[in-house]
Every structure is written in C-alpha cells, then in structure tokens.
C-alpha cells in the first residue's frame, strides 16, 4: 500500500472513530530465515507498505496476506489484534509497516490524580 493511501486511511479511521489524538509509528522489521513473529496489537492498526516480498505470510483477525496461496481472493493490507508474520524464505527479509495507535476520543474529559 502506498504511503499516501495509508495517510488517507489513518485520517479517515480516526475521524470515523471520533479519536482526538493518536500516534503513528513507522517500523522496519527484520526477519531471519524461516522466522515467525507474533505481535499483540489490540486497538492498533498495522498497514503494510508496498513491495512486500512474496515469501511473507501475514495474518490477523482482519484477514490474511499471502501471495503464494492462489486460493486467497483478497489480500489484506491492514491488520489488527494478534498479528502473525512468517518469513518463509531461506534468507533475511525486511518488512515495512505503519502502525496507528489511537489514544484519546473526542469529548472525553481527562482524568487527574
């Protein structure tokens, strides 16, 4: 997914969900050969950037991204919840993601202690 589209989706999601503030992180994840990683990301939205190597398998509650499986009709570029990523190659691969972390809804009063 192109970064311009990711920016539009971030603004749209935050507006629809009525969030006043949020954080956006850019991560470049390095996977060793045949490495599998699981990320717990409840309430976060992970967007896959362009040029994802076909050896990656990425799945979450939102769907799956797997270029090597011809049975999948729709590849999911946005993930949330528990995200599983697998490098099925025999070499090191990089994966770039943009992470949206909502933090405060509009109209909610801040609490102080």
| Residue 100 contacts residue 8 (beta carbons within 8 Å) | no
Asked if the structure places residue 76 within a domain, the reply is: yes
Residue 98 is assigned to a structural domain of this protein: yes
**Residue 13 counted as domain residue:** yes
Please indicate, yes or no, if residue 50 is contained in any of the structural domains.
Answer: yes
- How do residues 14-37 score in pLDDT, each as one tens digit? 888 888 788 899 999 999 999 999
Q: What is the pTM for the complete model shown?
A: 0.82
Tally of domains in the chain:
1
Alpha-carbon dihedral angle through residues 20, 23, 24, 27, given to the nearest 10 degrees: -160
Helix (H) or strand (E) holding 4: helix 3-16
CB 52 within 8 A of CB 107: no
Q: Give tens-digit pLDDT for 51-105.
A: 899 999 999 999 999 999 999 899 999 999 999 999 999 999 999 999 999 886 6
Strand partners, 25: 99
How many angstroms separate the CA atoms of 37 and 31, rounded? 8
- Please check whether residue 110 lies inside any domain of the structure: no
Q: Provide the domain limits for residue 92.
A: 3-104
Asked, for residue 52, whether it belongs to a domain, the answer is yes
């Amino acid at each position: 997914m192109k970064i311009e589209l990711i920016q539009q989706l971030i603004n749209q999601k935050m507006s629809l969900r009525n969030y006043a503030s949020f954080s956006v992180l850019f991560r470049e994840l390095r996977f060793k050969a045949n490495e599998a990683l699981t990320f717990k990301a409840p309430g976060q939205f992970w967007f896959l950037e362009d040029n994802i190597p076909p050896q990656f398998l990425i799945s979450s509650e939102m769907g799956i991204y797997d270029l090597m499986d011809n049975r999948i009709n729709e590849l999911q570029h946005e993930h949330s919840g528990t995200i599983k990523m697998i490098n099925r190659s025999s070499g090191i691969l990089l994966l770039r993601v943009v992470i949206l972390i909502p933090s405060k809804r509009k109209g909610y009063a801040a609490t102080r202690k």
